[in-house]
Amino acid sequence: MFNFSQKSVHIIKMLNAFFSFIEILDKNFNQSFNRIDNTMKQTRRIFIKRTSQITMGLGLVTGIPLLTGCGSPPANTTDEKKETTDNQAEKKSAENLFFKISLAQWSLHKSFFDGKLDNLDFAAKAKNDFGIGAIEYVNQFFKDKAEDQTYLAEMRKRATENGVESLLIMIDGEGGLGDTDDAKRKEAVENHYKWVEAAKFLGCHSIRVNAYGEGTAADVGKAAIDGLGSLAEFAAKSNINVLVENHGGYSSNGMWLSNVMKEINLPNCGTLPDFGNFCLKQTDEEKWEDRKCLDEYDRYKGVEELMKHAKAVSAKSHNFDENGNETKTDYKRMLQIVKDSGYVGYIGVEYEGSALSEDEGIKTTKALLERAGREVS
């Protein structure tokens, strides 16, 4: 015995077979059966329309899923499918990781300086080309726009449209906050005010600054405590963190910078440990990429010391071996140090190499972070 829905399906199959047979006869005897063919086709169209309506009604009653024709429009548009695919890929890449991945704008510095990329396109580039949904700006690529709210609004709009989170701005060229000259240090502090306000406008949580200064370690340390402390007090009014990266000079000494943080002892003043910036002394070639390190602080020791105060982390990379591992930094070992500190925030991809293109370097660094991250998670 057939139930009601089975009978309907059986009848439809029989009638479809019958009309298919008529169409075969039509092909062989076109002239003779032309009028019959036209009539049958019209009848078939009416029949299919009516039976599909009946079947739809049956589906609603019996819960039987309906089949759509080959020409039926997809449930999602192409853009919706792409967005879904991108989100799934981003979500999958973050599975089983104790941290999230962001992209440092400096990874694309050659393209920005050469004019191949525009600062306003950074958010879209990060999301569409690398599947990264959080970014770290570099002020050098919009240096004259810190107080241009129309421009900053467009930056914020682009990030929002692409579903990208703005994390921080890396600040260079505004003076050393560890300058031992009181007047110069005060000027440097005030030069950063506009970037604090820009960071707040963009929705960032921090600015990254430099604790540079000349003199003895003790003198520069004392000056940095004053300069960083003063800026952090100002930034606190905007709920912005002031972060110091190990970025050359005394700041590349993990113990020195950690002690400075302890002395400042403010909740919004912290560090941004970089996996590779631990050169204490280097040659003085004009181009920084041509300089060679003469004295280097232990990077693993340094990151461990700085993670106690970290509010962001930078995964520096230069060169990779045939297995995709960074040649100077053991990422698994480094990520274990980061994890052991209790840090669960963003780690920013920062590729500075030249053997690979910027795009390939970013992708390789991201893949290494994901692979090594799963091994320690």
pLDDT means per 10 residues, the chain with 377 residues, are: 49 60 52 44 44 40 37 46 55 78 98 98 98 98 98 98 98 98 98 98 98 97 98 98 96 98 98 96 81 93 98 98 98 98 98 97 98 94
Q: Looking at residue 275, what is its pLDDT?
A: 98
Q: Looking at residue 354, what is its pLDDT?
A: 95
State the Cα torsion 218-219-220-222 to the nearest 10°: 80
- 130 and 363 in contact (C-beta within 8 Å)? yes
Residue 289's Cβ-count burial label (10 Å; 0-12, 13-18, 19+) is exposed
- 348 and 315 in contact (C-beta within 8 Å)? yes
Q: Looking at residue 58, what is its pLDDT?
A: 36
Q: What ranges do the domains of the chain cover?
A: 4-62, 80-376
- 247 and 274 in contact (C-beta within 8 Å)? yes
* pTM score: 0.76
Task: Assign 269 to helix, strand or coil.
Answer: strand
- 164 and 122 in contact (C-beta within 8 Å)? no
Handedness of CA 356, 360, 361, 364 (dihedral sign): negative
Homologous superfamily, domain 80-376 = Divalent-metal-dependent TIM barrel enzymes (3.20.20.150)
Q: What is the amino acid identity at position 247?
A: H
**Residue carrying structure tokens 């950074």:** 122
Read off the tokens for 191: 């030069």
d(CA 360, CA 365): 8
Q: What is the amino acid identity at position 327?
A: T
CA 354 from centre of chain: 21
Q: Looking at residue 284, what is its pLDDT?
A: 84
Task: Report which DSSP code applies to 363.
Answer: H
Read off the tokens for 300: 């693993």
Q: Looking at residue 214, what is its pLDDT?
A: 96
Q: How many residues does the chain have?
A: 377
d(CA 347, CA 208): 14
Distances (CA, A) of 8 to 54, 72, 264: 9, 22, 80
Q: Looking at residue 352, what is its pLDDT?
A: 96
Residue 56's Cβ-count burial label (10 Å; 0-12, 13-18, 19+) is exposed
Distances (CA, A) of 28 to 18, 21, 32, 39, 328: 16, 11, 9, 17, 76
